[in-house]
Amino acid sequence: MRILGIDYGSRRIGLALSDESGSMAFPHSVVLNTGKAISATAQIVRENSVGMIVIGESLDYKGSPNKIMPAVLRFKAALESETGLPVVLEKEFLTTAEATRLQGESRNIDASAAALILKSYIDKRS
């Protein structure tokens, strides 16, 4: 089953896809966080036969939900409604910084952060 990974941000939303077996994660794309983000994400879900979605649970240094979590939860609920798929939370902490450290600055950095979130989920599931 193919899985979609999401790094939710207030301006950009990074997307990553697993392979068909759900064992590897790859950066896919970045969508702008506008009124069309849900429909754009749902389109990618349909085009790629995604069976489940993983979204980063954004935490602060103490491991508590940070100020963006209410928006993440609204996005999660909207995706569940739009796609009919399960959307699970995967704890994430500084994934964009980690992606930047691994590959340097890039316009696709949010997709790479989403791949790190998705890989974390896949690794825990295995």
The Cα-based distances of 108 to 8, 20, 40, 74 in angstroms read: 14, 22, 16, 24
Q: Give the Cα separation of 55 and 88 in Å (integer).
A: 6
Which stretch, 28-32, 92-96, 97-101, has highest mean pLDDT? 28-32
Which run of H or of E encompasses 6? strand 2-8
Please, what's the b/e burial string for 18-48 (b: 16 or more CB within 10 A of its CB; e: otherwise)?
Answer: beeebeebebbbbbebeeebbeebbeebeeb
Q: Give the Cα separation of 44 and 82 in Å (integer).
A: 12
* Average pLDDT, integer, range 63-88: 95
**Nearest Cα to Cα of residue 103 among 28, 22, 27:** 27
Q: Give the Cα separation of 71 and 74 in Å (integer).
A: 5
What confidence score (pLDDT) does residue 87 get? 97
The Cα-based distances of 37 to 6, 13, 26, 71, 95 in angstroms read: 12, 8, 20, 13, 20
Rounded mean pLDDT of the chain?
91
- Band (7; pLDDT cuts 50, 70, 90): very high
What confidence score (pLDDT) does residue 64 get? 85
More confident site: 20 or 92? 20
In percent, the amount of the chain with pLDDT more than 70 equals: 89
Question: Does the pLDDT value for residue 95 go beyond 90?
Answer: no
Q: Where are the domains of the chain?
A: 2-125
* Average pLDDT, integer, range 76-83: 97
- CATH number of this structure's domain 2-125: 3.30.420.140
